[in-house]
Amino acid sequence: MIRVTVLTTIGCVRCLRVIGILKKLKTEYPTLTVREIDAISNEAQDLIKEHAESSSPCLLINGEYMSMGDATEHVLRKKFDEILAVGK
């Protein structure tokens, strides 16, 4: 299973782009779940503190920090394939 948490902010163009990529990839990775959290929420603030990251979007994959800012489809696909290969 691949669980992606995306910390987003209102009006963030990069956030919208990453969410769009994840929606597209969901058709190819049936175990992919995507959870979007508003970066100003208490939960997001706790995650930001934990991972020392404040840029939007911030991506956590299976609870581990993956990237901030603009994640590309290629990078996400590579990470998902790695996860599935090792059965994490």
pLDDT number for residue 56: 72
Q: Where are the domains of the chain?
A: 2-86
CATH number of 2-86: 3.40.30.10
pLDDT (tens digit, 9 = 90+) per residue, 12-67?
A: 899 899 999 999 999 999 999 999 988 888 877 777 777 666 667 888 899 888 87
Cβ–Cβ under 8 Å, residues 32 and 80? yes
CA distance 41 to 36: 11
